[in-house]
Amino acid sequence: MSSVNPGALPQTESKAKPRNEWPLWEIFIRGQHGMSHRHVGSLHAPDAEMAIKNARDVYTRRNEGVSIWVVEARHIAATAPSQKGPIFEPSESKVYRHPTFFDIPDEVGHM
């Protein structure tokens, strides 16, 4: 669903030999008034063309979108949960990156 899952995890319930399966595609849709494409889910399809057709049928049934991107899941790299700290924490101590950090006197007017 709405969690990109690149890189197959180890098979758990079966030790079956790899089968001729359709690859997994991640689907991104830009909504009617959306500024950017958002990840909405995934699906299996033999190729990009079919992935787009199926994404249209599954993810835009109720006027959800005006543009579809499909990306084969194996092309996506993601951050690891264990790296959450080192990757994202540094920005927490940098309040000066926000425009609201500076106090401009009222008499200066709108800035």
Partner 1 sequence: MYAQMVKSTGQGVKTREEMSPEEAHFQDRVDADEKIEARDWMPEGYRKTLIRQIGQHAHSEIVGQLPEGNWITRAPTLDRKMILLAKVQDEAGHGLYLYCAAETLGVSRDDLTEQLLSGRMKYSSIFNYPTLTWADIGAVGWLVDGAAIMNQVPLQRTSYGPYSRAMIRICKEESFHQRQGYDIMMKMAQGTEAQKRMAQDALNRFWYPSLMMFGPSDAESVHSAQSMAWKIKIDTNDGLRQKFVDQTVPQAEYLGLTIPDETLKWNEDKGGYDFAEPDWTEFFDVLKGNGPCNHDRLKARQDAWTDGQWVRDGLLAHARKKAARKVAAE
User: Which residues are near partner 1 by CB under 8 A?
Assistant: 1-3, 5, 8-14, 16, 19-22, 24, 41-44, 46-47, 50, 57-58, 61-62, 78, 80-81
Nearer to partner 1, 55 or 101 (CB): 55
Q: What residue has token string 């994202």?
A: 88
Given a contact cutoff of 8 angstroms between Cβ atoms, the answer to whether 26 and 77 are in contact is no
Nearer to partner 1, 10 or 90 (CB): 10
The pairing of strands 67-72 and 38-44 is unpaired
Min CB(26)–partner 1 separation in Å: 10
Which residues touch 5 (CB under 8 Å, ≥6 apart)? 24, 42, 73
Min CB(14)–partner 1 separation in Å: 5
Nearer to partner 1, 21 or 103 (CB): 21
Nearer to partner 1, 80 or 104 (CB): 80
Min CB(67)–partner 1 separation in Å: 19
For residue 48, the tally of other CB atoms under 10 A from its CB is 13
Q: Tell which residue, 7, 50, 79, 35, has the closest CA to residue 58.
A: 50
